[in-house]
Amino acid sequence: HTADAHRTDLMTITRHVLNEQSRNPESRGDFTILLSHIVLGCKFVASAVNKAGLAKLIGLAGETNVQGEEQKKLDVLSNEVFVKALVSSGRTCILVSEEDEEATFVDPALRGKYCVCFDPLDGSSNIDCGVSIGTIFGIYMIKDKDNVTLEDVLQPGTNMLAAGYCMYGSSCTLVLSTGSGVNGFTLDPSLGEFILTHPDIKIPKKGKIYSVNEGNAKNWDAAVAKFVEKCKYPKDGSPPKSLRYIGSMVADVHRTLLYGGVFLYPADKKSPNGKLRVLYEVFPMSFLMEQAGGQSFTGKERALDLVPTKIHERSPVFLGSYDDVEEIKALYAELA
Ligand code: AHM
Ligand code: MG
């Protein structure tokens, strides 16, 4: 009965978000419209990523992004599609993209109340070999529509309204939280719709996997080194953890959310603030982790309590199963 109901009574992402928003009497559908434009961007990128090998879209576009990395054609394309989709939604006022050095202030005629921070195509080192990559986004609301400033996006992560990511993998999965739990939707290519496939995702309280770039080990601080040592040689009689590291944050976080465990991109002697960017990598993923019952920590504080001072700011991050992050916090308290 239930299986049949699912097959004929399709819970699309739009229907799901409309249901969620209808609980708020002040909702006028603006968020649903904004989200449908984000979904359009994700579908475009999904289709472009699938065709990338064939269409020879891969290759350098001859530009460098703000972090000084070479931009691939797919990154440039994805960024353009997202910026245009978000602006044309008429629901945004400030956009922060990993690919653009400056924030985009939307023309007053097209302005709405939402700010969107996003990484249109994260995991660029994995594009050319067909490994999973993704889009990450976080959404804020402006304070005063007639006086929009950069301060509207330089807010702590706790002020975020919604966050999500879309993973372009063996299937295309969009994971979203609007602040009441986490839900996962899978793109049905024959319908062109994201269908609810992972309702109310909860991360296991403790995991069996750790995920980190161990090539940076020689520059780690004592707490990270000790944590990873404990993963491999546990002293409490528990079995060692498995190591899984894809090098695409979306894919590594998605696995962590579903299977449990911990993902870390710590600070090290060479990168004192780590690598990942606060506004469009650390915050959205931390928001999702907390909403799924996990935790996210910077080595000093709860990640969502950070107050960024510039739009491309970086921060170390340790996120995942509640108990595993608790262990990292204890090591920092002991060794820092
Ligand atoms: P990117 O913006 O150049 O794609 O870098 C971000 C990516 C993340 O997806 C991933 O978690 C991390 O970089 C991997 O970094 P490293 O190759 O240093 O392990
Ligand atoms: Mg990126």
Q: Is the CB of 271 under 6 A from ligand 1?
A: no
pLDDT tens per residue, range 267-311: 999 999 999 999 999 999 999 999 999 999 999 999 999 999 999
Which backbone phi and psi does 56 adopt, to 5 degrees?
A: 50, 35
- Say whether pLDDT at 67 is over 80: no
- Say whether pLDDT at 66 is over 80: no
Q: Of the candidates 158, 82, 148, which has an alpha carbon nearest to the alpha carbon of residue 117?
A: 82
CA of 27 to the centre of ligand 2 (A): 32
Residue 186: beta bridge partners? 173, 195
* Residue of minimum CA distance from atom 12 in ligand 1: 247
Q: Which residue has the higher pLDDT, 8 or 104?
A: 104
Categorize the per-residue pLDDT at 184 as very low, low, confident or very high, splitting at 50, 70 and 90. Answer: very high
- Say whether pLDDT at 57 is over 60: no
- Say whether pLDDT at 37 is over 90: yes
- Say whether pLDDT at 65 is over 80: no
- 327/235 Cα distance (integer angstroms): 13
The H-assigned helical ranges of 163-248 are 222-232
CA of 122 to the centre of ligand 2 (A): 4
In percent, the amount of the chain with pLDDT more than 70 equals 93
Question: What is the per-residue DSSP string for 210-260?
Answer: EE--GGGGGG--HHHHHHHHHHHS-SSSPPPPEE---S-HHHHHHHHHHH-
Ligand 1: residue of 249, 254, 312, 317 to mutate (most ligand atoms within 8 A of CB) is 249
CA of 286 to the centre of ligand 2 (A): 16
- 5/159 Cα distance (integer angstroms): 37
pLDDT tens per residue, range 68-125: 655 558 899 999 999 999 999 999 999 999 999 999 999 999 999 999 999 999 998 8
Q: Is the CB of 247 under 6 A from ligand 1?
A: yes
Q: Is the CB of 320 under 6 A from ligand 1?
A: no
* Residues, CB within 5 angstroms of ligand 2 (ion): 98, 119, 122
Q: Is the CB of 124 under 6 A from ligand 1?
A: yes
| The predicted structure's pLDDT at residue 7 | 77
Q: Is the CB of 90 under 6 A from ligand 1?
A: no
Q: Is the CB of 135 under 6 A from ligand 1?
A: no
Give the number of the ligand closest to the Cα of residue 69: 1
Is 256 in contact with 262 (CB distance < 8 Å)?
A: yes
Is 50 in contact with 58 (CB distance < 8 Å)?
A: no
User: Which amino acid is residue 202, in one-letter code?
Assistant: K
| The predicted structure's pLDDT at residue 61 | 58
Q: Of the candidates 69, 123, 99, 96, which has an alpha carbon nearest to the alpha carbon of residue 249?
A: 123
Which backbone phi and psi does 154 adopt, to 5 degrees?
A: -90, 60
Return the minimum-mean-pLDDT range out of 18-27, 158-167, 222-231, 306-315: 18-27
| The predicted structure's pLDDT at residue 26 | 76
| The predicted structure's pLDDT at residue 23 | 82
Give the number of the ligand closest to the Cα of residue 131: 1
pLDDT tens per residue, range 232-281: 999 999 999 999 999 999 999 999 999 999 999 999 999 999 999 999 99
- 89/83 Cα distance (integer angstroms): 10
CA of 34 to the centre of ligand 2 (A): 22
Is 255 in contact with 244 (CB distance < 8 Å)?
A: yes
Residue 111: beta bridge partners? none
Q: What is the mean pLDDT of the chain?
A: 93
**C-alpha dihedral over 105, 108, 109, 110, to 10 degrees?**
30
Q: Of the candidates 174, 155, 154, 152, which has an alpha carbon nearest to the alpha carbon of residue 164?
A: 174
| The predicted structure's pLDDT at residue 150 | 95
- Say whether pLDDT at 53 is over 80: no
Is 21 in contact with 31 (CB distance < 8 Å)?
A: yes
